[in-house]
Structure 1
Amino acid sequence: VILYARGSQSPDVNPTNKGLHHYFANLHDHRHMTKQESVLLLQCSYIKRACCLTTPQNSNNQLHCKMYSTRSFNYTLFSLLIFSIFLGVITSVPYSDNGSGKKYGDRCEAMEYCQGELVSCQHGTCTCFTPEDMIYDDQSHGCVVLAGRKCEINSEIWKVSVNCIEGAFCDEKGVCVCSEGSYPSFNGTCANKKSHKESCSNDPECSKALVCIGGTCSCDKRGQVYDETRQACVAVVDSECELEDEETECVPHAICRQGRCVCKQGYAKSTTGKCDLGFGSDCNSLGGKLCADIYFIKHPLHQVFDERTQECVSIVYGPCTFPKKDFFGKKKNVTGIYDIQKCIKNALCVDKGFYSECECKPGYVQTKAGTCAPGYLENCEADECDPTLFCRNNQCNCQDFLQTYDPTIKECVGLVGSRCSRDKPNCVEFASCHWHVKAFSNGLVRTFSDQHEDPLPVSPVKRLSFYGESCEVSSDCASHIGLICSNSTCLCSSGFIARLNPDKLLESKTTECVIRAGSKCGIMEPSDASQSIESEEYSSRAYKRTFTSYIWTKFKKSIPFLDGEVSNSHCVDNSRCFQGVCTCLPEYFQDYRGLCLKKRTLFQPCGDNDHCRSSEGLVCNQEKCQCKRSMVFDRVARKCYLPTGGICDAYSSDIDILCVRNSECSNDRCVCLDGFTPSSDGTCGVAYGKSCNGKEKLCSDIQLTCRSGSCQCKYPIHQIYNETLKQCLSKPDGPCEPNPLEANRNMTSFPYNCVPFAECKLSNESSAFEHSCKCKKGYAESQVGECVSSYSAPCNEDDDCDSVAQLSCINGICSCPDKMLSFDWTKRKCVGIVGARCKFIQLERLLSMRVDVPTECVENAICVENVFRLDGRCQCKSGYKHSPTYENCI
């Protein structure tokens, strides 16, 4: 196509390339053209081998189209040049509606003039020049460019801008961009950005500081909530902040201190992470609406306040939440009082049909206070057992060795011959508590019935009282195991603590006294021993001597430290006598009672650095044993190390700041050794796909396993390896963890994270997993199990788009690769519109050739054979006609 501006000479012979410069030199004269001339100029460009010429002999010197026939003329090259400047020709002429020409949407002929800017006759209808990039504007009576499409044409001669759709402007890159506060919708218009909690499909749809998470506009960072008053995202309590002593970053009634949001004085952290009135605060004037917990003693007869979790929980037989399924199989929460209610520690919520209540877990028993304590022979720590039991050797047992446990009444009962009381006369089956008591010379007692007398002649003696039993003076107590009478009870003397001793004779199979951790031990002089325990005569025939003489004549042989030797056996368990003081062993710490407890490991609760295992490099941070800042925990070596990339000192002799396994300090940074790569948790190991020689622990990530000689994902059917994140991620319909950070923090299991642009959702009944990954709205699953952008979604490159649907990234939007194609959402593929090329199956099979064009057409259209070509054309079925845009058959 050759373009002549008015005033140029029209050729009488075939044009040559030499004349091209002259033809285009006078293009600036188009500014004097009329609208009709400009449109005619464009229309001629659609006709192959046609020239738009001036007629010299015509006095009006008007333009007209003339067919031009020559094999030497490269009309394709010239046609491309015309397309690069056509907008400049059209839009530079002011629009003038003089009533002539067809209106938008009217039927028209190929050379007929259509009214409106950028409106032309295409496929027999007046429509926008490029319908996929433009839309008709009723106010301006012309076509405007959609958001995300080109609005500026640059050539060697012209730089032309066209109008963008309402709410958009043409940016410096020549693209229509929506104004601030709006976003480009799927149909190219500009819509107002959505506020907090409104539904969305991608981030650009949400207002400032919000992103699209799970189909809802939410705050970007974890640990943030949306403040409706400030119209901004703020950090919840204990989340990170930057502006010290400022309140702008944190939730109301909180302030930033040492990089964390903390509640102001008089306020407490609520279950939602906000600061409201704490437990016990006066809320009369506020109507109870600002209490920090929604469950603050609404039912005081059934609830107690848990200091650890800072919430009210139901005691045994109190109401609770029990998950049920409704008629359709979906889970729902059912309770007799309100929607959510937790049970006290070691209790479970049990469904009772029309209501739910808390009951102790198996192995736990209910206390009088409504709590649940470890039962008989259950594992325990000090003071954890039911009040009727005693924690001995980490198991709950009866307090007295002359007792046995009765599972029927869930209490310890006395054996025959043991002491009993009027207040609690519990004896074994077929035995009863009698008060006609006679004692043998060995200090034991025996019960007799009212009708019978003991035939053996015995003289009454006084029985020694053991730990916790009543007494009047110290001689009433079993002083040979260190007991004295204090406040009418046999107890250990100062500096000692009770310990069960099951290894001695029957009369001594009870609690004995040992030295507390932190108290003196070692050599004790006789004068000290006689002063430490009161010396009194007592009338037992078994021990007719004073306590002092007894200590030095008999018991001296069994207590080495009384002979001037150091004895570790008389220090509290898990300690030894060191430099005259009972000291806890290296892997134990001393608690407030003088006991030695085992040091805690990663993420276990603590109150001080000494409570954590220093051998693993752990310190107490936020009441949990953790690595020091900038260090990571190696689960294989069970120790804290500097991670890859961490700052190190190659010449340091401090073994507590070494680089992680399989790394070295180079240029003051920890780097992985040759053959190892950094993992997601800061350690070094064999990378995904590399040889591991069957050593599973060498793989670079905990989610990898050594399979067939190389590191692979543990669950290859459901996982795919992400090179950017260096992690195995779950594919759509694969298992996932709804709260991966919490699962990883508690070390219960390594979490399943979903692939990018997927989210963890509750599975339906047919799924094998409770939670599974699902592609977010606007994304579809690819052939390799990734979530890629579906049709009309934003993109950066072709790989971001749905390859199954054969989409391409065009101008930042996933689109069909050709404007003659339309996307079918049901079939998830691009199909040909009316007039588009299509694959004619019969002809293809006949010629045994492959034609690389779509097989299918839009609904109600078929592919009709083209005898002159290897492909066909999409044509409406009989009884249907094409729409004005040719995009469907109606």
Structure 2
Amino acid sequence: LANCRVINHSPICTCRPGYTGEPRIRCSLIPPPPPPLESPPEVNPCVPSPCGPYSQCRNINGNPSCSCLPSYIGNPPYCRPECVMNSECASNLACINEKCRDPCPGSCGYNAQCKVINHTPICTCPEGFIGDPFTACSPKPPELVPPPVHDDICNCVPNAVCQNEVCVCLPDYYGDGYVSCRPECVLNSDCPSNKACIRNKCKNPCVPGTCGEGAICDVVNHNVQCTCPPGTTGSPFVQCKPIQNEPVYTNPCQPSPCGPNSQCREVNHQAVCSCLPNYFGSPPACRPECTVNSDCPLDKACVNQKCVDPCPGSCGQNANCRVINHSPVCSCKPGFTGEPRIRCSRIPPPPPPQQDIPEPPANPCYPSPCGPYSECRNINGGPSCSCRPNYIGSPPNCRPECVMNSECPSHEACINEKCQDPCPGSCGYNADCKVINHTPICTCPEGYIGDAFSGCYPKPPEPEQTVIQEDTCNCVPNAECRDGVCLCLPEFYGDGYVSCRPECVQNSDCPRNKACIRNKCKNPCTPGTCGEGAICDVVNHAVMCTCPPGTTGSPFW
């Protein structure tokens, strides 16, 4: 599947379009890209809502979109009702249930007329009607007998009487006897905020029986609020009981005297310290099995704070792996050639000699004497070796910038064989990232709470608490308090007082024969990853599909 051209007496081989490989050996069809790994579950940016009170949040392409609820005005996070007090409405309206409305409906009696003056409904009987306009107006009866003529007729309004030729409002009515006499109140807003309008009078609604036994009754904005006084507990609408004074209990494990990576247990009122599982040493100096490669034997490497064999998944097909000074060194098996970290192919037999045709000069670069990660050029019949771009060293010892984290500065990690900052993309929204010993540590900044690996949101104001718990552990996110000790939640690792992180955030946190999938180190070779009958291998965290010997076709179909 290769094309051949003769240039200056020499055959030049190239792969046909759509094919790749070593044209002097074999060209293979370029495989389609592997299917993308399943993405992690989408984080809902509206939980909790960042939009403030009286608002609604919608998830638009992974971002929160805030708007005020219907019937509320302003812009998030400052949505507010139309009104709270009468003065926020026009003079012919009143603030009723946080909306500016006409206060007349339901305020006056039957057949009465209503007029709003300065937010207050004024009720009067129409011409030809008499009675209490706040109760009912009835047609004025015809005058049967002319009353005796008095020179002191007052012509008073309803709910007023004539006293000494002066119109005076009746008891419990207020106003001008010649204009309007109205009761003390019609709406709650006619009363002070600590009273309510009850039967046209401003009264304290906190009457006996409104709240439960022993509860405190307060009036806030005309409404009753029942609360239990300090030192009591229960339902303020049923009964408040005194809190029983229990003997003060002192937890010897609060705070823990055991140091990091340890656990504290209370035995006979004494603190007993021990190291957490998979940690070594004695409190307060508990430590993981390793933190750097030098903590392990020369044939092991430190991965996720454990000494493990670095070979699995490091070398390609048909390659051998040796561990030298904690690092995997790959080489092709005898009779094979190629890039040992990717795949080694069998060295093809030399072509049979052809008679009467002069044998072309031997290519000093085939097979290459330059070693891995190098390129060879034919210079006047001799090989000229150099390292490939982005590789360092000198042939035959060319190598990538790094293979493991320990080959990078402590504030960087080995990602795609280069020392890079591991923070980008490792932490959640609004989280801070700090690199400690090649590992990104995610924390929520001051004033924010949440899971730092998913997203941090502003800390809501703390409600007033009537009972103060004195045994709070002050654990970090993804940790919980058990018997006065902060422990990381299941599937999270670290120190419950410093940082609890998932098993992995990026592929370099896992062994090379596994990948970081949903924050766990898993084998990415799941059913359906490669085609039917194909072999699935994991090399440097990535899937490689190949057809087994004796078969042909696309390993991806």
Structure with the bigger RCO (C-alpha within 8 Å, sep 6+) is 2
Settle same-fold status: TM greater than 0.5: no
- The structure with more strand, counted as a fraction of residues: 2
TM-score (ref. length: structure 2): 0.24
- The structure with more helix, counted as a fraction of residues: 1
